[in-house]
Amino acid sequence: MADTGFVQKEKLNDFLNELSKDAVVYAPCLEGDTVIFKAFDSGTTLCLDRPANNPPKLVVFPQSETLFSFKYKKDAEDPRKMSVELEANTDFPRAIIFGARPCDAKGFRIYDSVYIDTNTPDPYYKGRREKTMIATLCCSAPSPGCFCVAVGGGPAHREGSDVLITQLEKGYFIEPVTEKGRAILNVPRIEDGEQYAEEAHKRQLESHDLVRNPFAEDGQPKISRALFDLDEFWEHVVSKCLSCGACTYLCPTCYCFNITDEQALNNGERIRSWDGCMFSHFTLEGSGHNPRPTKFKRFKNRVGHKFLYYPEKYNGVIACCGCGRCIRHCPVSVDISEIVSYLRGPRFEFTNEPPESMGTDTNSQEQKQ
Amino acid sequence: MISQRLREAIAGVFSEVDVALAYQQGFDKLHATPCFMTMPEEINKLIWNPLCVHNLTSYLPSLKKKKVAVVVKGCDSRTIVQFMQEGLINRENVVIIGIPCNGVISVNKVLHETNHEPIEDITFGENGEITVKTLKGEKTLLLSDVCPDKCKTCQYPTPIVYDRLVGDPITSDKSPDSVYADIKEFENKTLEERLQYWEQEFDRCIRCYACRNACPMCICQDSCIAETRDPHWISQRATLSEKFMFHMIHALHLAGRCVECGECERACPMGIPVNKLKRKINLDMKELFGYEPGIDPEDKPPLYTFKVDEVTIKEHKI
């Protein structure tokens, strides 16, 4: 069997149809001017020209999923007694993510540490992850806001991918990265890719230097803890944030969730759905107390989680893949890479009195957001 | 140059306020971003050009206790009028720096024209021509082609309320009939077509609430029915019906209050035309009550009040 494959440009749709025969294929598709990951079928228009607006995380970590359903039953002998029946499904269909970007694929590695490589793996995430093959398309040019090279990634980075695809003049060079990925070479309509390998490997290196690196001076961003713990810093950099969830919901590495019960009479479901640390309800406790009561504290959590807490817990790995979605899709252009570069040390000139962007008392701050 | 005059105007009121809200260059050449200026030296960062799309007045209710200077375009000023009607700001705490505006750009439309290539440079000519440079070359666009739809029918290019005006007032040359022409055309579609249209659009919604949080008139704060358990009207399921319900409630809460600044639609990361719903309801409000939001500070939104005889509504005579 060949080690690599090639699909002619005009045969790509046929190839995806072949892939669809025994798995649900999620691919970036055009809707209006928006590119979204959705199940590919004959009615969808594939768009591989630019990264999708949303990452493919929803394939493995859906926005909302039923953990289990429950049913209360009365005891026929003793009507005062109720029993509860639970039913859970962790049997998921096979899926293929086609056309993820290297940053998107790297994002799944961030989740794996949390949801799989622990003493108590998450059966839902793990079940979907094991059934999913990730076929990643190398980036030929950066998009506005991208900074993957600054956080250990790159336009042809392989981490998290099962297959790496390189777009060439005549078609797509297909290269398995993992054992799981090798199965793609058995799909009909794929040719031997050997003659294209050299061109593809050259192409993969081309765009690396085009990606901006906001932390270039010191490689991996090293954060000044003193500045990080300065409330005034956060109040200053976060004042324009609207506290919406666009950044977290479009993030390939954000994995926070909420759990709610949806019950009607004696039946119901326990739902797990995305949560985001930008929302005012985030970490709101049952008592009504919230340890992160203000916008800037929540924002500090977002940056801290990605660039401090996660690396501390997981061998220095930064939980940001530099895809740039939170920057380019933010309604007010909040730039996390700019904030992190400020945090690297004393270069951030912090003079004058503390900025009074949003006040310090909880009440005035919570009026709007 | 207006930028320089704007800096001077802000410098002139800077000592009177706690914070001044204006625009500065964003993360790339195509984006401006709101800036909160608290130190006089920050005034030099300020820019003014058609990239200044954001409605900065959205921040005012959260700064109610502070003294704030804010830069407003004609459309943005309607928000202030509406805030005044609803008591959401203390007018005496706000210094309004008005700028007559010939239109701003739609970032999405420019990106569409340049195939979503990163913009290396962008320059604005005197007569509405825009030159954009990408790695693939240079392209000249017309502001009238890449402006948000609201600018194409703008009736209020000069702010309705202001304390300082930077630049000469501009009178609209756009027909008032053009404002809702697109809504009326859309209404010619059959019910099934419209349902299908909205189902397809709302299906993309990721419930990030960018539309809600960018909306200056969304004032339920942290009690939005999209998230509350009491009342528990919407679940956290990511289904079409939940998304539909949220957007309908959002639109209905804005009936006769929406100033059509278009921030909801601009903020949407998934390209959903959410402003269309609100404008449809505003058209109804106009036809039913002869009312247009954000024009007269002394007025009241029709649904905040009650008249036994509405002049424009023919009731059954008993």
Domain layout of chain B by residue ranges: 1-103+156-170, 105-146, 180-318
Tell me how close the Cα of B105 comes to any Cα of chain A, in angstroms: 14
What is the sign, positive or negative, of the torsion defined by CA atoms of B233, B235, B236, B238? negative
Cα–Cα dist B210/A189, whole Å? 43
Mean pLDDT throughout B88-94? Answer: 96
φ, ψ dihedrals at A343, nearest 5°: -70, -10
Beta-strand runs (E) in chain A: 5-8, 24-31, 34-39, 64-74, 82-87, 95-100, 132-137, 163-167, 171-176, 191-192, 257-264, 267-274
Which pLDDT value is given to residue A1? 66
- Answer for the pair A292, A277: CB distance below 8 angstroms, yes or no: yes
pLDDT band at residue A219 under the 50/70/90 scheme: low
Average pLDDT, chain B: 94
Question: Which A residues, 126 through 155, put their C-beta within 8 Å of a C-beta on chain B?
Answer: 141-145
Cα–Cα dist A279/A244, whole Å? 6
Chain-chain contact of A145 with B36 (C-beta, under 8 angstroms): no
φ, ψ dihedrals at B139, nearest 5°: -145, 140
Average pLDDT, chain A: 91
- CA distances to A330, B24, B47, B128 from B21, rounded to whole Å, are 18, 10, 12, 26
Q: Could you tell me the two tokens for A98? A: 């086609």
Question: Residue B209, Cβ neighbours under 10 Å: how many?
Answer: 26
Mean pLDDT throughout A243-247? Answer: 97
Contacts of A45 (CB under 8 A, 6+ apart): A29, A30
Q: Could you tell me the two tokens for B46? A: 């300020």
Mean pLDDT throughout A198-215? Answer: 93
- Return the domain boundaries, chain A: 5-62+93-212, 225-362
Beta-strand runs (E) in A196-252: none
Cα–Cα dist A127/B66, whole Å? 52
pLDDT > 60? residue A357:
no
| pLDDT digits 0-9 by tens, A44-57 | 999 999 999 999 99
Question: Which A residues, 286 through 305, put their C-beta within 8 Å of a C-beta on chain B?
Answer: none
pLDDT band at residue B230 under the 50/70/90 scheme: confident
CB proximity B19 to A under 8 Å: yes
Chain-chain contact of B267 with A369 (C-beta, under 8 angstroms): no
Nearest to A132 by CA among A35, A61, A187, A190: A61
Cα–Cα dist B49/B124, whole Å? 8
- ipTM for the predicted complex comes to 0.94
| pLDDT digits 0-9 by tens, B295-314 | 999 999 999 888 877 777 77
Mean pLDDT throughout B58-87? Answer: 97
Which pLDDT value is given to residue B2? 87
Q: β-strands B137-142, B129-134: how paired?
A: antiparallel
Query: Structure pTM?
Result: 0.93
Which pLDDT value is given to residue B274? 97
Chain-chain contact of A63 with B207 (C-beta, under 8 angstroms): yes
- CA distances to A162, A254, A276, A336, A364 from A307, rounded to whole Å, are 26, 12, 17, 10, 29
Q: Could you tell me the two tokens for A297? A: 């504290």
Q: Which residue of B has its CA nearest to A365?
A: B62
Mutate to test the interface with B, among A37, A49, A239, A269 (most CBs of B within 10 A): A239
Mutate to test the interface with B, among A248, A368, A369 (most CBs of B within 10 A): A368
Question: Which A residues, 7 through 36, put their C-beta within 8 Å of a C-beta on chain B?
Answer: 31-34, 36
| pLDDT digits 0-9 by tens, A136-187 | 999 999 999 999 999 999 999 999 999 999 999 999 999 999 999 999 999 9
| Out of A145, A258, A358, closest to residue B27 by CB | A145
| pLDDT digits 0-9 by tens, B39-64 | 999 999 999 999 999 999 999 999 99
Which pLDDT value is given to residue A35? 97
Which pLDDT value is given to residue B308? 78
pLDDT band at residue B317 under the 50/70/90 scheme: low
How far, rounded to the nearest angstrom, does the alpha carbon of residue A90 sit from its chain's CA centroid? 22
